[in-house]
Amino acid sequence: MIVQPPAVLLTGGAGYIGSHTAVELIGAGYAPVILDNFCNSSPKVVDRIGRITGIVPHVVDADIRDAAALEATFARFPIAAVVHFAGLKAVGESVAHPILYYQNNVSGTLCLCEAMLRHGVGKMVFSSSATVYGNAAEVPTPETAPPNPANPYGRSKYIIEQVLADVAAANPSWRVVILRYFNPAGAHESGLIGESPRDIPNNLMPIIARVATGRHDRLRVYGSDYPTPDGTGIRDYVHVADLARGHVAALARLLDDALPPIATINLGTGIGHTVMEVVRAFEHACGRRIALDVVARRPGDVTSSIAAVGQAESRLGWRAQRDLDSMCADSWRWQTANPDGYGQ
């Protein structure tokens, strides 16, 4: 008798974190099914996943708000659990277009939950964000810190968390792990997959990488008067491959029913780095100076954001393994091998 690996639906699975998670899932013996509308990703990533793992995952080109597409997907594949990445994620865009974010992120999740309920699938790992904490009073920030999101993107994530808690409370068979991760960085060590935003990057490291390759003239450093060692903001950067492993660990606990109906867990390193520390580490990785301008602070930016990581260790048996130098080296390898990303 041939035992088929558990099928896991990855919404937004062609994106930056989703694609790395697909690689880790295949390596752990799962069968990922990627559902993505490719609004901020590339179909080319699927073949790259196949080159890394030797297995090309199934792909459904669809939006999570498309009820018919979701129905067909759950009918076609024996989905055991869902890892939910799909969502818009640019803070500035969310401020300018809040309805778009609530419609896509929140309404999309409602459509997904309805499909799961219809098909008796009650296990989900949800990709949330440390933005739900806002300007947290306690740093490192534990999962018990009161949520205080400062923008529509963060609020959309927190609303989804509340929706999932309510659905789990109403359906005793449901189990949900909410992963609040801090600042993803780096790329797969092969250089085959990495962060490839369609527009100007929102995250620090891909902007630095583009300056290093000459695609952008200079890096803007927002603020040098924070109460930190060099005056620039501190963030907890976590390697995307470590994040992917965290999702696999959470999924394994879900499928073993080893967690309560709702578990909220931070994924980070527990170590903070200033913007200038990241710049210097990237300069070391690429062997080039990063041209930069120091400008005024951006509204809404916090001084420091660092994860308390005890829950990830105790509940998931997970901890980050890669340091900032590894993130920079892997990011530079990806950037030099793929100067135009996936060329979308």
Could you list the active site residues? 153
Tokens of 322: 């890669």
Q: In this structure, are strands 234-235 and 273-274 parallel, antiparallel, or unpaired?
A: antiparallel
Pairing of strands 237-239, 123-129: unpaired
Q: Return phi, psi of residue 23, to 5°.
A: -60, -45
H or E element that contains 79: strand 79-84
CA distance linking residue 99 with residue 224, whole number of Å: 33
How many angstroms separate the first and last alpha carbons of the chain? 43
Q: Is the four-CA dihedral 64, 342, 185, 148 of positive or negative sign?
A: negative
- For the beta sheet containing 262-267, the strands, ordered from the edge strand earlier in sequence to the opposite edge, are 58-61, 31-36, 7-11, 79-84, 123-129, 175-181, 262-267
CA dihedral 189, 193, 198, 199 (to 10 degrees): 0
Q: How many residues does the chain have?
A: 344
List, in order, residues 6 or more apart from 199 with CB less than 8 Å away.
none
